Amino acid sequence: MSKSIRAPRAFLPLASAALACALVASAHAAQPDGKAAPADALLPQAGRYLTDDNWRQPVRPFRIADHTWYIGTARLAALLIDTPEGAIVIDGGLPQASDMLLAHIRDVGVDPAKVRWLLISHAHADHAGPVAALKRATGARIAANAETATMLARGGTDDIHFGDNITYPPAQADRLLQDGEAVTLGGMSLVGHLTPGHTPGSTSWTWTDTKDGKPVRIAYVDSVSAPGYKLIDNPRIPHLVDMYRGTFATIRALPCDLLLTPHPDASGWLPEDAKAPHPKPMTCAEYADGASVRFEAEFAKQRTAK
């Protein structure tokens, strides 16, 4: 990568194409006895970039609320909302996670062919990576706002901050959403809230489920970090700072009894701990306030260095 482009946290470029091929070949190799790898085996590296093991570590799916399931890896969320009329999947993690996700959907008793909608928090490779494969496998439709749909169709190329360094198989959105528009299925209504900053089309999703006989307002709030971003006088996105500050205010006002995030540990979740996957619950306001403090510190640092 050039000095002007930095990879997101836990993305590391490979030293060479030869090493990439060797890693992928090794990851896909059969077990010594010829059997398939166990369900909890690490997913392979993608080849173009390396990621932390816990981004690729499958965890057993678990129920969050009556209709909402966690089906992702230890550090990359993917959610399944099951309804009488079909299912909705939000995010998927890395490109190589598609087979794992389909297996996890079956594990919770849902036929992948019943998935009707694919939704996205933001169109980076570690969240939208398997969307194209999931669309092919399930026949589901993709709903996204115009910014996310454009980025998704490019497969992550020409990223404002990362250029062509972190890419994934492109996919075409079937429905373009406006800010505040809902995707409704089987009595569940998921509202998309535009929360730009991490990407121009970053979207947070809210819906009401039930748990223990009571309604629970779930907020799946998008990432709000700025990993290596040029915050001041960025020619590609001049109003980036204003976007972030507006997003923090939006997040604070979301209906939010239970907070989830694309990187689960950012909101106090440890999905790999089957006995206590949510040891440190966090509110939407706390999530926004913490991110705001970190953002303003980075903004001040860049302003001083200018």
DSSP string, 9-40: TT-EE-S-HHHHHHHHHHHHPPPTTSPPPPTT
**Catalytic status, residue 263:** yes
Question: Exactly one of 220, 229, 244, 287 is catalytic; which is it?
Answer: 229
Question: Exactly one of 82, 91, 126, 159 is catalytic; which is it?
Answer: 126
Long-range Cβ contacts of 136-140 (<8 Å, 24+ apart): 137/98, 137/102, 137/112, 138/102, 138/112, 138/113, 139/113, 139/115, 140/89, 140/115, 140/116
**Catalytic status, residue 126:** yes
64: left (phi over 0), alpha (psi -120 to 50) or beta: alpha
Question: Exactly one of 67, 70, 82, 127 is catalytic; which is it?
Answer: 127
Smallest CA-to-CA distance from 127 within 158, 182, 165, 90 is with 90
Q: 3-state SS of the chain: helix, strand, coil percent to 5?
A: 30, 20, 50
Question: Exactly one of 122, 161, 193, 278 is catalytic; which is it?
Answer: 122
Cα end-to-end span (Å), the chain: 23
Question: Exactly one of 67, 161, 193, 263 is catalytic; which is it?
Answer: 263
Residue 15: CA atoms inside 13 Å, Cβ hemisphere, count?
4
Question: Exactly one of 67, 161, 193, 198 is catalytic; which is it?
Answer: 198
Partners of 62 in the β-ladder: 70
**Catalytic status, residue 124:** yes
CA dihedral sign, ordered 102, 108, 114, 119: negative
**Catalytic status, residue 28:** no
Question: Exactly one of 124, 161, 193, 278 is catalytic; which is it?
Answer: 124
- 1, amino acid identity: M
Indicate the SS3 state at residue 219: strand
Residue 99: CA atoms inside 13 Å, Cβ hemisphere, count?
12
Write down the residue that tokens 């008793």 correspond to: 109
Q: Where are the beta strands (DSSP E) in the chain?
A: 12-13, 49-50, 62-63, 68-70, 79-83, 86-90, 115-119, 141-145, 175-177, 182-185, 188-194, 203-211, 214-220, 258-260
**Catalytic status, residue 193:** no
Q: Which residues are catalytic?
A: 122, 124, 126-127, 198, 229, 263
